[in-house]
Amino acid sequence: MKRRPRNTPFTLGNVTVKPGESQYVELSLPGLYTHSDINMPVHIMCGKEAGPTMFVSAAIHGDEINGVEIIRRLKNSKGLRRLKGTLVTVPVVNVYGFINKSRYLPDRRDLNRFFPGSETGSMASKLAYVFLNNICHQCDYGIDLHTAAISRDNLPQIRALLDNDEIKALALAFGAPVVLNAPLREGSMRQAVSESGTKVLLYEAGEALRYDEISIRAGVNGIINVMRKIGMLTASRKRVKIAPAIAHSSKWVRAPQSGILRSTNPMGQSIDKGDVLGYVSDPFGEIEQEVLSPVSGMVIGRATLPLVHEGEAIFHIARFDELEEAETVYEEFHSHVDPEDDDIEPYGDEPVIY
């Protein structure tokens, strides 16, 4: 029998993980002013057989915690026993923000605006530098897990630069209901890695500081789908594949006045141009304004806190060439990740209900 090619060891700092082994590694970061050390926790799973190297990261924004649970379920998934290549998981990139339940670093900077970072710069720069050089640059692929900001919710979606054919193929393979073509943002990790050749997808789903079962399930499924696509796991004939709808652009709808928002449309709702998305009124309902959609599309993000100021972004509408097709995809997706459905295998875990 022909011997399968053996994986190469993965080295991080002074730790080398050999094929067939798994290890935790702590990456040293600037300590606290309490004389306490701070480390970024990393888990490396080095498969016996050769294959790609991929990282999965969460909580670059410290309050976006859905991804932490996605990584926990992924790491404990039975399918990984036959892993080809190396899987590097980093559940909490912005350790400081995570401790403080905050999107930001203690110096109020947004880590995802400070890539590629530097060894001698600000706290954000140093953290970006450590993550980029130790993790991202050592990997062929990456999936970065995010949620909407606090008091906002996102429908599970992949954001990627679809001009790149390989990234587009991965974005579709993930199987979130919506793929949004998203340009690279200055200072983001995605922009920093695009120059080095690492292919990165950004998964956005759910709300900051909350666990959302549908977003978590769709995230775990999606990562496994991508791992199958790139040959880290064997393809499964059993699995239902969702063919995502591609949104060519999106539009934020803002509050027409300050007041209290009553949203009349759930997430995933299809909207025609001019439809009422909700109402903003004063507490007595005397001064009320309709929120009208300026475009046709699907609600892929919305404010969850009804107290809004004039100009605040309250609905995010994705625009498609074929809106009806997107509607069908969303319905199909929903029927496959429904937490009420006992037939769904949530990777050896009970669903989380809050």
Q: Give the interface with Zn ion as residue ranges (CB under 5 A).
A: 61, 64, 146
Contact, 95 vs 40, CB < 8 A? yes
Instruction: Provide the minimum distance between the beta carbon of 65 and Zn ion in the complex, in angstroms, as a whole number.
Output: 11
| Token pair listed for 337 | 């990740």
Give which of 80, 211, 196 is closest to 145, Cα–Cα: 211
Structure tokens at 181: 């073509």
Q: Which is nearer to Zn ion, 230 or 318 (CB)?
A: 318
- Please state the closest distance from residue 192 (CB atom) to Zn ion, in A: 15
- Which residues are paired to 313 by β-bridges? 254
Closest to 136 (Cα-Cα) out of 115, 159, 121, 118 = 115
Name which of 27 and 205 has its Cβ closer to Zn ion: 205
Distance of closest approach, residue 105 Cβ to Zn ion, in angstroms: 13
Residue number with CB closer to Zn ion (146 or 336): 146
Q: Which residue, 204, 202, 250, 242, is CA-closest to 221? A: 242
Measured from the CB of residue 145, what is the shortest distance to Zn ion in angstroms? 9
Q: How far is the CB of 146 from Zn ion (least distance, A)?
A: 3
Q: What is the closest distance, in whole angstroms, from the C-beta atom of residue 239 to Zn ion in the complex?
A: 28
Q: And the tokens for 201?
A: 């997808």
Nearer to Zn ion, 181 or 258 (CB): 181
- Rounded-to-integer distance, Cα 132 and Cα 180, Å: 24
Q: Please, are residues 147 and 66 in contact by the beta-carbon 8 Å criterion?
A: yes
CA 11/CA 42 separation, integer angstroms:
12
User: Strand, helix or coil at 12?
Assistant: strand
For the CB of residue 353, give the shortest distance to Zn ion in the complex, in Å: 24
What element of type H or E holds 145? strand 141-146
Nearest CB to Zn ion, comparing residues 189 and 298:
189
CA distance 280 to 114: 36
Half-sphere CA count of 257, side-chain side, radius 13 A: 14
CB count in 10 Å sphere of residue 306: 14
In whole angstroms, give the CA distance from residue 213 to residue 200. Answer: 24
Whose Cβ is closer to Zn ion: residue 106's or residue 346's? 106
For the bound state, the minimum distance from the C-beta of residue 317 to Zn ion, rounded and expressed in Å, comes to 20
CA-to-CA dists, residue 129 to 121, 123, 276, angstroms: 9, 10, 46
Which residue, 103 or 217, is less far from Zn ion as judged by CB?
103
Query: Would you say 113 or 251 has its CB closer to Zn ion?
Result: 113
Chain position whose Cβ is nearest to Zn ion:
146
